[in-house]
Amino acid sequence: MKTSLLLPLTLSLLLSITLHAAKRPNIVFILADDLGIGDTNIYGGDRCLIETPNIDKLAQGGLKFTDAHVSASVCGPTRKAIMSGRYPWRDTRHDRGGAWGFAGLLFDPSITYTLGDMFREAGYSTNYIGKWHLGTVMTTKDGEVQGEANVDYKRPLKVGPPQFGFDYSFILPGSLDMYPYAYVRNNVWQGNIAAQKGWSAFNRVGPSEKDFEDHEVLETFFDEADALIGKQSSQDPFFLFLALTAPHTPTSPGVKWQGKSKLGVYGDFVMEVDHAVERVVTALKKQGLYDNTLILFSSDHGPASYAGNILKATPGQIHQLEEKGHHSNGLHRGYKFSVYEGGLHVPLIAHWPGTIKPERTSDALVGLNDLMATFADIAETKIDPQNASDSLSFANVLKNNGATPLRKSLIMQSAMEVFVVRDGPWKLCLGPGSGAKGIHGNRPLPEDAWKSAWKSFDGKPSREAFQKAPFVQLFNLSNDPHEDNNLAGKHPERVSKMVGMLQNDIKQGRSTPGPKLKNTKNVVIHQRLLDFVRETISK
């Protein structure tokens, strides 16, 4: 009797769930690597000499953000923030592992809530294709920490994307300039990893699959994305994180793209990045999924100053592109690794037919750490207040051009872990100089800036002085987008307020509403800089 009564109810419930799932959009997030905001026509305008028709078309058919930022101007921390919705400086590295692609886990996925976990709970199939760079745990022949000589490539990874909540994955463990040069599908190494290879740029020679070629990597990822999208159903929503390895060095455009750009090989590589959008859009249309898919496109930080048309990584060679009229960092100052906008300000484009109206622009302040909360809103699921502690949804901005954005402030860092605080148009850099070592091409050099500030105190500044002029930089981006005028000395009260905002975010263990949380790392605002000063000033 109960069975006969429950059966229609069960079928009705299943039908309701199916219809609900069909209404929620598929989501594809494309993340470029080292792509500057000025490397695309839609952002760079006359200062961009590379053709990016597909990225431009995506923006013209949707929403272009003009104030989007990463959590750090370097790869790993940014990806950590995207995957966890949490500022990367809050937690210690879980496991150091070996060098380059042998790196250990940036965080423990068994205790950290991830994008994969969130989408899986929401009923989405979860997929990751491309550059990983979040660390893995590899099986070793001797039971010791993974490294260049002891990995057992015949046995699967112990921890990889599946443990981060992804149903399907096809990855390169590190970056394209980081061995091992081999793919891993669902934690299983692909091919015969018995060669030693290295590429242009830094020419890091290490373990490689015998047929692996650097110029084939993007095309391989595109083919994987095509095949994955081709298996999707209109009844079941899916999430795809497509993480590209370009235009990060080695500058290795595919055969079809070599010689395409008037700018040279760097332009060729960016054009192949642009092709990623075309491939995704074409695959979605072929499968009948395009109209119900949200596509987002961004970059993990700004351009590297050592990248350009010289294949060997050459400090400062990006200036050669600038002399030709191409400015990868757009209107901004600085590059990858720095505290300046050239390293932190990134493109962010959202395209969602029928929901996002064409040719829209938003000046809402957005951090890529906000993707977790935004995707949760779109997937119509809730995140426990213990998770994604620094993620604020901008879903309302996607749907409504007049919506008030939730984010008013944002915390960022340079590669040397110099803190950056945004509060409306105000930007505070908690250190003098670029916050990046000289080999990275940013200026002023930290040691020069520190020595100058140090002398103004007769070599005896207090620790409190490090949070005031001349040890800090304050800019008003609304009228000084190039960050030329340091206003810290004129507005000490503004500096004090923004330092207090950072201190509060550190103390609370979160920057979003919710219960107080703990940082697993002892966060000291100037620790790395102080260590650097001790090493350089004393010389």
Q: Which two tokens stand for residue 513?
A: 């509403």
**What's the confidence (pLDDT) of residue 537?**
58
Task: Band the pLDDT of 19: cuts 50, 70, 90.
Answer: very low
**What's the confidence (pLDDT) of residue 8?**
42
Task: Band the pLDDT of 178: cuts 50, 70, 90.
Answer: very high
Q: Which two tokens stand for residue 193?
A: 């990893």
Q: What percent of the chain has pLDDT over 70?
A: 93
Q: Residue 530 above 50 pLDDT? A: yes
Q: What's the N-to-C CA distance of the chain in angstroms?
A: 87
Q: SS3 of 493, please?
A: helix
Q: SS3 of 420, please?
A: strand
Q: Residue 5 above 70 pLDDT? A: no
Q: Which of 59-68, 314-323, 434-443 has the lowest mean pLDDT?
A: 434-443
Q: For residues 418-447, give the mean pLDDT.
A: 92
pLDDT in tens, 277-296: 999 999 999 999 999 999 99
How many other CB atoms are there within 10 angstroms of residue 34's CB atom? 25
Domains of the chain: 25-407 (3.40.720.10), 411-536 (3.30.1120)
Task: Band the pLDDT of 529: cuts 50, 70, 90.
Answer: low
Q: What percent of the chain has pLDDT over 90?
A: 85
| Residue 172 vs residue 14, higher pLDDT | 172
Task: Band the pLDDT of 4: cuts 50, 70, 90.
Answer: very low
Task: Band the pLDDT of 17: cuts 50, 70, 90.
Answer: very low
pLDDT in tens, 73-102: 999 999 999 999 999 999 998 888 999 999
Q: Residue 341 above 60 pLDDT? A: yes
**What's the confidence (pLDDT) of residue 7?**
40
Tell me what the pLDDT averaged over the chain comes to: 93
**What's the confidence (pLDDT) of residue 528?**
67
Q: Are 119 and 83 in contact (CB under 8 A)?
A: no
Q: Residue 441 above 90 pLDDT? A: no
pLDDT in tens, 107-141: 999 999 999 999 999 999 999 999 999 999 999 99
pLDDT in tens, 23-57: 899 999 999 999 999 999 999 999 999 999 999 99
Task: Band the pLDDT of 151: cuts 50, 70, 90.
Answer: very high
Q: Give the contacts of 230 (CB within 8 A, at least 6 positions apart).
A: 283, 286, 287
DSSP states of 291-315 as a string? GGEEEEEEESS---TT-SSSSS--T
Q: For residues 431-442, give the mean pLDDT.
A: 88
**What's the confidence (pLDDT) of residue 13?**
41
**What's the confidence (pLDDT) of residue 15?**
43
Q: For residues 398-414, give the mean pLDDT.
A: 92
Using the structure block, give the residue that is written with the tokens 């039971």. 143
Q: Give the contacts of 335 (CB within 8 A, at least 6 positions apart).
A: 36, 302, 303, 304, 305, 318, 328, 329, 342, 343, 440, 441, 442
> What is the value of pTM for the model shown?
0.94
pLDDT in tens, 196-221: 999 989 999 999 999 999 999 999 99
